[in-house]
Amino acid sequence: MSKQKKSDTSDLSRLLSIDKVIHEPARFMILAYLSTVESADFIFLLNQTGLTQGNLSFHLSKLEESEYVGIEKQFIGKRPHTLLSITDKGRKALKEHLKVMKELIDGLFGAY
Amino acid sequence: MEQLNMKALEKKAFRSFFKDGIYDVFLGLMLLSFGLPLMLNEFGWIDYEKMTWPLVFALTLNVGALLFFVFGKKYITVPRLGFVRFGKGRKRKMRHVKLLLVISALIGLVIFFLVLFKVLPVGGETGIPPVGLIFGIQVLIVFSLAAYFMDFTRLYLYAFLFAVSLPVTFWLKKNDILAYPSLYVFSLTAGPMLVVGWILFFRFLRKFPKKIEQGVGDE
């Protein structure tokens, strides 16, 4: 059983199955922050992640396309206000990504 | 390990809201509101035995501190740091803090009426009175627990400063060590909170200019 597991974790082809939407550092960071809160607005994420407005906006769109993040747009007065939250699908994908990455790293560096 | 890192991330996000110094200024003003009537009495500006003026000064400062806290958080902090609803764990911790503050306020109210009806001596000539000790002990317990639930490290120090303020003032009065004990004691207890608070506040305003959000997907 452990031999089987060892061969699994040292199989680099598993890297190809990694979720590329989450694997991008900025998107991973956004999902990690959103996974710790119920919901947050655009400015909160901007401050926490240190990304630029354009960058954050771009990556949020990608995460929204993959249905990992739910975006609710509101107007407070004349200003746009975007409330963001991680979806169940996003939370599951993040957990899975962390698990796969951990297994791969353990498998690759376990021998050292 | 994964769980721990996420907790640390949440804690870091939550603690970022203490960078604005508003809590520090609020607590400093609240503590000063306890000391101001005593100081004015020492200067001979108000009659200590007549409770009206000390109460008016204390309440004015309390209301001012509360308004600064509420409007500061709403119009200064949130537009700069953003809006966030924290998860269930944090909400539970904050419910504990609210409960503690309600209990503390109730104890304070009981002490206030006991002093008002002269059941408890307020101090002055008789050394450290029960009111000073009760105040000190309850503030130390409540603030330390609040600091724990809020992950607000500076609050442990503030708990100590709050707790020693009244007992030390009364002790100095009894032993006639200083001419104006409350002036010195409250400058050394409320003073650091106000200095730290204002420094953090102006640093925060410089570091976090007001941001105007652009729509998601617009570049």
Average pLDDT along chain B: 85
Contact A89, A83 (CB under 8 A): no
Query: What average pLDDT does the segment B49-73 reach?
Result: 85
Contact A58 B208 (CB under 8 A): no
Q: In chain A, what are the domain boundaries?
A: 17-106
Query: What average pLDDT does the segment B6-31 reach?
Result: 93
Q: How far is it, in rounded angstroms, from Cα B195 to Cα B77?
A: 19
Residue B66 — very low, low, confident or very high, per pLDDT cuts 50/70/90?
A: very high
Q: How far is it, in rounded angstroms, from Cα A74 to Cα A28?
A: 25
Q: Which of A36, A85, A97, A105 to mutate to test the interface with B (most CBs of B within 10 A)?
A: A36
Contact B82 A43 (CB under 8 A): yes
Give percent of chain A above pLDDT 90: 56
Closest CB from A61, A71, A80 relative to B213: A80
Q: What is the ipTM of this complex?
A: 0.78
B8 touches chain A (CB under 8 A): no
Among B181, B146, B140, B180, CA closest to B164: B140
Output the pLDDT for position A3. Answer: 46
Closest CB from A36, A47, A71 relative to B81: A47
Contact B87 A39 (CB under 8 A): no
**Residue B54 one-letter amino acid:** P
Output the pLDDT for position B132. Answer: 76
Judge whether residue B35 has pLDDT over 90: no
3-state SS of B157-184 is HHHHHHHHHHHHHHHHHHHCCCCCHHHH
Query: Minimal Cα distance from A41: which residue of B?
Result: B83
Q: How far is it, in rounded angstroms, from Cα B93 to Cα B63?
A: 26
A48 touches chain B (CB under 8 A): yes
Residues in chain A: 112
Which contacts qualify for B124-132: CB closer than 8 Å, 24 or more apart?
B124/B48, B124/B170, B124/B173, B125/B173, B125/B174, B126/B174, B127/B170, B127/B171, B127/B174, B128/B167, B128/B170, B128/B171, B128/B174, B129/B170, B131/B166, B132/B166, B132/B167, B132/B169, B132/B170
Residue B24 — very low, low, confident or very high, per pLDDT cuts 50/70/90?
A: very high
Output the pLDDT for position A63. Answer: 95
Most confident residue range from A85-94, B135-144, B173-182: A85-94
Residues in chain B: 219
Output the pLDDT for position B216. Answer: 58
Which contacts qualify for B61-66: CB closer than 8 Å, 24 or more apart?
B61/B29, B61/B30, B61/B32, B61/B33, B61/B36, B62/B29, B62/B30, B62/B33, B64/B29, B65/B25, B65/B26, B65/B29, B65/B30, B65/B33, B66/B26
Among B200, B191, B153, CA closest to B21: B200
> Cβ contacts (< 8 Å) between A41 and chain B: which residues?
82-84, 213
Contact A42 B218 (CB under 8 A): no
Which residues 110-149 in chain B show a CB within 8 A of chain A?
A: none
Residue A81 — very low, low, confident or very high, per pLDDT cuts 50/70/90?
A: confident
> Cβ contacts (< 8 Å) between A71 and chain B: which residues?
216
pTM: 0.82
Contact B20, B201 (CB under 8 A): yes
Q: Which of A47, A56, A73 to mutate to test the interface with B (most CBs of B within 10 A)?
A: A47
The structural architecture, per CATH, of the domain A17-106 is Orthogonal Bundle (1.10)
Q: How far is it, in rounded angstroms, from Cα B140 to Cα A54?
A: 47
Judge whether residue B27 has pLDDT over 50: yes
Output the pLDDT for position B97. Answer: 93
Q: For Cα atoms B123, B124, B129, give the angle at the middle one, nearest 5 degrees.
A: 25
Closest CB from B2, B86, B211 relative to A37: B86
Judge whether residue B138 has pLDDT over 90: no
Give percent of chain B above pLDDT 70: 87
Closest CB from A40, A57, A61 relative to B84: A40
Q: How far is it, in rounded angstroms, from Cα B202 to Cα B192?
A: 16
Contact A33 B13 (CB under 8 A): yes
A81 touches chain B (CB under 8 A): yes
Q: In chain B, what are the domain boundaries?
A: 13-207
Contact B216 A38 (CB under 8 A): no
The structure tokens listed for A99 are 């698990």
> Cβ contacts (< 8 Å) between B13 and chain A: which residues?
33, 36-37, 44, 48
A80 touches chain B (CB under 8 A): yes
> Cβ contacts (< 8 Å) between A36 and chain B: which residues?
6-7, 9-10, 13, 87
Output the pLDDT for position B3. Answer: 52
Judge whether residue A4 has pLDDT over 60: no
